[in-house]
Amino acid sequence: MAEINLFFIFIGSIGFDLLIGDPSFVIHPVQIIGAYIKKTSNFFIDNFNDNKRILFWGGLLIAFSSIGLSFLIGKGIELFFLQSKNSFVFGILIFLGLSSCLASKSLTSSVKEISDLISKSINDKKTEKLVREKVQKIVSRDVSSSSLEHLLRSSSESLTENSVDGIFGPLFWIFIGIVFMKFSIFLPGPLSLGFSYKAISTLDSMIGYRYNEYKYLGFISAKIEDYSTFLPTRLVLLTLPLVSSKIKKYTSIIKKSYCDGRKYDSPNSGISEAIFAYTSNIKLGGESKYNDKVVKKPIINLNGDFCTKEKINLICHLIFRLQLLWIIIFTFIFFNI
């Protein structure tokens, strides 16, 4: 019975995230994790910037402590909920905690807002500056001198890449945790795995870079993120065409997406971008500016259309449909194990 209650809390948290997003009255776990990562990583950078070995072991400490603390907090709340016979207070904590692991509303809304502003034809410097600031918040590249076309492409790439990190990755691990609860309450549960994945994702976004001191400090974090996102990314690759108009070209779409996506350095982001690019028929990749250096990424879907407001809306619809499909599949699996 307890695991069934957790399952329905999980379903409710998905709906809450889709409709409400992150409520302003609740401290987001990412803020707490991020503050810890920032403080500890700054300590190692400020004091051991030239010592590669210490930076590496410091990065290992930061990664394991961030993930471990996140897991323990989540596991503690789960155990209190289960051992208190489904306490309402701890049920609410799990509900809000699971919802905070997902980013459907915040991710899609931020990109839609950017595409809406651009589609209205920017005629004044103030609006153009606002658009650049909004795009810069969701990408790591430098967009200060980007064209409007590049701003739309940057937004689309952020949406398609982060759909796994922010939505489907946590969904996958939360569901794995619910399944574990059917066997023992002491196994990793939905909140402990959800919080752990969120910590992994936050670590990667903050220190998982390949330049300067982060090359050593964030090495472990980047590798852990690669492995933890590997399966969710492949599941998105296999299931997204099922909810698109390209379903009749299922095999071809998957092959093309995999071939284009694997050209990227990351084993996951390229594939995530590619499957969305082919199902929505847009062209991604090309030149972008990072730290005063122009980087040319492989082109994905060479014959695809340019990114537009309509294409971004289509991608958002695909994300919603895929979530619905995953929920149906998860529900079937859960009640038949």
Query: Has residue 14 got a pLDDT over 70?
Result: yes
pLDDT, tens only, 241-300: 999 999 999 999 999 999 999 999 888 999 999 999 999 999 999 888 887 788 888 999
| DSSP conformational letter for 298 | E
Kindly state the DSSP code that residue 305 receives in the 8-state scheme.
Answer: B
Averaged pLDDT, 194-208: 95
The per-residue pLDDT for 295 is 84
Distance of CA 45 to the CA centre of its chain: 26
pLDDT mean across residues, the chain: 92
Q: Are 236 and 164 contacting, i.e. CB atoms less than 8 angstroms apart?
A: yes
Question: Average pLDDT, stretch 106-131?
Answer: 83
Distance (Å, rounded) from C-alpha 142 to C-alpha 74? 36
Contact 119/145 with Cβ under 8 angstroms?
A: no
What is the pLDDT confidence band of residue 5, given thresholds at 50, 70 and 90? confident
Task: Give the end-to-end CA distance of the chain in Å, rounded to a whole number.
Answer: 14
Q: pLDDT category, 200, cuts 50, 70, 90? A: very high
| Per-residue pLDDT at 184 exceeds 80 | yes
**2 has pLDDT over 80:** no
- Say what the pLDDT of residue 211 is: 80
**What proportion of the chain, given as a percentage, has pLDDT over 90?**
74
Taking the C-alpha atoms of residue 166 and residue 77, their distance in angstroms, rounded to an integer, is 22
For residues 305-316, average pLDDT? 94
Average pLDDT, integer, range 150-159: 93
- Does position 165 have pLDDT exceeding 80, yes or no? yes
Which of residues 148 and 57 earns the better pLDDT score? 57
Measured between alpha carbons, how far is 142 from 138 in angstroms, rounded to an integer? 11
Whether the pLDDT of residue 209 is over 90: the answer is no
User: What was the pLDDT predicted at 123?
Assistant: 65
Look at 297 and 325; give whichever has higher pLDDT: 325
Please state, in angstroms and rounded to a whole number, the distance separating the CA atoms of residues 69 and 75: 10
Rounded CA-CA distance 162/208 in Å is: 15
Per residue in 77-113, pLDDT (tens digit) is: 999 998 888 788 999 999 999 999 999 999 999 999 9
Instruction: Mean pLDDT check: name the lowest of 147-151, 163-167, 197-201.
Output: 147-151
How many whole angstroms separate alpha carbon 260 and alpha carbon 241?
A: 16
pLDDT at 121: 63
- Residue 29 has a pLDDT of 83
